[in-house]
Amino acid sequence: MKRKHRIAAVLFDMDGVLVDSEAYIRQAAMAMFAEKGHPVLPEDFLPFTGMGENRYLGGVAEKYSIPFDLEKDKARTYEIYAGLVKGKLDPLDGVHEFIKTCQGRGLKIAVASSADPVKVNINLEEIGLDRSLFLAIVTGLDIEHKKPAPDIFLKAAGLLDSDPECCLVVEDAISGVAAGKAAGARVLALTTSFSSGELSGADWITATLATAGDEVLDW
């Protein structure tokens, strides 16, 4: 008799999971701050990785007491970002294959990214993933409390009509792993942004979706 699996849905973070755009958004953010007359360092952004651009930019602005207009400065950062990534983004190893495997198993899939819709749309288009592949796309503008709060994954699970406990969250950031666990989901962490030790709260840890074992979908 074939065993019935508990897993019903997979919720994908974007940056560091589907695509590695961290260097580009960091470069865009640094350029934005430089235009304001405030040079910042690449490492300044690390504590805010995975928390969405509001915190990613705002946290660095706070660190240096830089005057910060959230909407204006974020829009400028995305404008710079769009130019930087044109024709340069590729999906991370195993992305298309893993999504096909999920579809073949009848699993519902969603994107749950702390980024704004403009960045999510740019990234999906650049790596050749049509929005229609996903039953839901939840962005940072759809929720009040960002990761490590569980809100984004709870909302995504709800849109898929799936119990969070039956969802696999795929993340690369410490805050994302914490958010997934707080939502009650199981978490697969990819070591694209942080070390395995820093992601130790996840249920499974691997380099990319290409190296994820069958067990991450067999439960």
Question: Could you report the per-residue pLDDT of 127-165, keeping only the tens digit for each?
Answer: 999 999 999 999 999 999 999 999 999 999 999 999 999
Q: 149: exposed, middle or buried (C-beta count within 10 Å: 0-12, 13-18, 19+)?
A: middle
**Residue 15 falls in the annotated catalytic set:** yes
**Residue 130 falls in the annotated catalytic set:** no
Residues in the chain: 219
Same domain, 69 and 119: no
Query: Which one is catalytic: 13, 20, 73, 172?
Result: 13
**Coil, strand or helix: which one is 9?**
strand
Same domain, 103 and 144: yes
59 part of a folded domain: yes
Query: Which one is catalytic: 15, 20, 151, 172?
Result: 15
Same domain, 66 and 146: no
As a whole number of angstroms, the distance between CA 122 and CA 130 comes to: 11
As a whole number of angstroms, the distance between CA 10 and CA 8 comes to: 7
The pair of three-digit structure tokens given for residue 54, joined into one six-digit string: 């509001």
Give pLDDT, residue 2. 55
Give pLDDT, residue 3. 57
CATH number at residue 117: 3.40.50.1000
For a pLDDT cut of 70, what percent of the chain falls above it?
Answer: 99
Residue at a domain's end among 48, 63, 85: 85
Residues spanned by the domain of 77: 22-85
4 part of a folded domain: no
Same domain, 54 and 142: no
